[in-house]
Amino acid sequence: MTQGTKGKGAAAPTLWDRTRQLAAQEILRTALRLFSQQGYEATTIAQIAREAGVSQRTLFRYFGTKEDLVGGSQDEFVALMTETVREQPEEADVWEALRTAFKAALSVHTSPEDAWERFRLVHHTDSLRAAHLGKRVRCQEELLPLLEARPGPSGAGRAQVRAIIATSFACFDAAAATWVESNGQGDILDLYDQGLAAVRG
């Protein structure tokens, strides 16, 4: 679940907003705990709702699907990535804009432990991995027209920019897999940079 960021002049969150955020965080904490203890597939929405102290209807108001409890809303993920790219200065090239977007996507996690548990679940659950890959494909296509207009390698056209985007996403996924294997040691963006340097080198 992505969390909105407050810009200059943004209205302060109301008591209602804060209450909703706390409720969503409690549902999410409960879900991740149950997924970790007994597995994603073995955990039901009814069980999560019961232990979080809410109805199933309330749970689905915060999280549209069971998958959203781990990977977040697809629409929110794509919106965060594309908006971050749009906000980058004109001189930022394709590689820089993508790295900043990945950093923004990582920032929605409440802690490194939260991020690690989500990545671990995705990498070890077939249904979540399939949803994750589908989300990535859609996001890449949404990013393509935005990144075509940015500085890139000399002579880079649509096909070349698409390849750069796919390479960046592959390096990020590889960094995430390495991070999961190492039990969350180190920084995932450092691993991403290392992987990208190996590919580009």
Domains belonging to the chain, first-starting first, are 15-66 (1.10.10.60), 69-200 (1.10.357.10)
Would you say residue 93 has pLDDT above 60?
Answer: yes
What pLDDT shows up at residue 3? 40
Terminal Cα-to-Cα distance of the chain (whole angstroms): 35
71 Cβ contact partners less than 8 Å away, ≥ 6 residues apart: 77, 118, 122, 128, 131, 132, 135
Average pLDDT rounded to a whole number, residues 43-64 = 93
**Entry pTM:** 0.81
Label residue 75 by pLDDT band (50, 70, 90).
Answer: confident
Mean pLDDT is lowest, of 6-15, 69-78, 186-195, for: 6-15
**Sequence-separated contacts (24+) of 102-107 with Cβ below 8 Å:** 102/168, 102/172, 102/189, 102/192, 103/189, 104/80, 105/77, 105/80, 105/81, 106/188, 106/189
What is d(CA 102, CA 3) in angstroms, rounded to the nearest whole number?
15
Label residue 4 by pLDDT band (50, 70, 90).
Answer: very low
Average pLDDT rounded to a whole number, residues 37-50 = 94
What is d(CA 65, CA 67) in angstroms, rounded to the nearest whole number?
5
Average pLDDT rounded to a whole number, residues 40-52 = 95
With contact defined as beta carbons under 8 Å apart, do 47 and 30 qualify?
A: no
